[in-house]
Amino acid sequence: MCANFYDIRMFGAVMNTDVNCGQVRGPVQLTFSRSINQITPLDVSITRVAVTRADDMEVAVSDETGKGSGGKRTVMGSKAIVPYGLYRGYGFFNANLAKQTGTDSEDLSLFWTAFQNMFDHDRSAARGMMALQGLYVFSHDSALGNAPAHRLFEHICVSLRPDEKSPRDFSAYEVSISESLPPGVTLTRVIG
């Protein structure tokens, strides 16, 4: 399965159908992202003009243009949006699990490319302008690691600028990076 399927090789899988085929632990794990500052969700009104049920059909009513509604009833609805939010998430790569699944540097390179471009290929009304603003990769000289991940993440600080009260774009934030890393650890700024 790992040889044939990139997603299983990278992220793992529980392969249960009628027969328990086992589990593969993938080397890449991603956390849920959380907003850096409190977000303010808003409800906006939306309309639907397309008829989806026979009960929604009406006799066309003429308007000023004389075209009428074409037998369609407009239905109002609502949609929750977040005007702006900056989210921070974490990812982990386990070199020992990579050996077990056969993940190689080409697989990892493809992952970084896909990760950087993921929002450009998944647009929708709800998340039309989402973009990855920073991607920082800590690499270790040892497959066992040279420092704990939670300590490395402390080297990247994202904070709201002092004069900002209600952020509406990325320029409202400051990103500071400590250059004093533990021995055997390097930091690569892929984006940022």
In the structure, what pLDDT confidence band is assigned to residue 63 with cuts at 50, 70 and 90? very low
User: Which pLDDT tens digit goes with each residue over 16-28?
Assistant: 877 788 899 999 9
Give residue 22's region: left, alpha or beta (phi > 0; psi -120 to 50): left
Question: What whole-number distance in Å separates Cα of residue 47 and Cα of residue 75?
Answer: 6
58: pLDDT strictly greater than 60: no
CB of 30 closer than 8 Å to CB of 94: no
Domain boundaries defined on the chain: 6-40+83-191, 42-81
Q: What is the pLDDT of residues 124-179, one digit of tens each?
A: 877 778 899 999 999 999 988 999 999 999 999 999 999 998 899 999 999 999 98
User: β-pairing, 34-35 with 135-140?
Assistant: unpaired
Q: Is the pLDDT score of 66 beyond 50?
A: no
> Could you tell me which residue, 57 or 43, shows the higher pLDDT?
43
Per-residue buried b or exposed e for 24-55, using 16+ beta carbons within 10 Å of the residue's own CB: bebbbeeeeeeeebeeeeeeeeeeeeeeeeee
Residue 110 has pLDDT above 70, yes or no: yes
In the prediction, which pLDDT does 74 show? 63
Counted residue by residue, the chain has a size of: 192
Please give the Cα distance from 24 to 15 (Å, whole number). 8
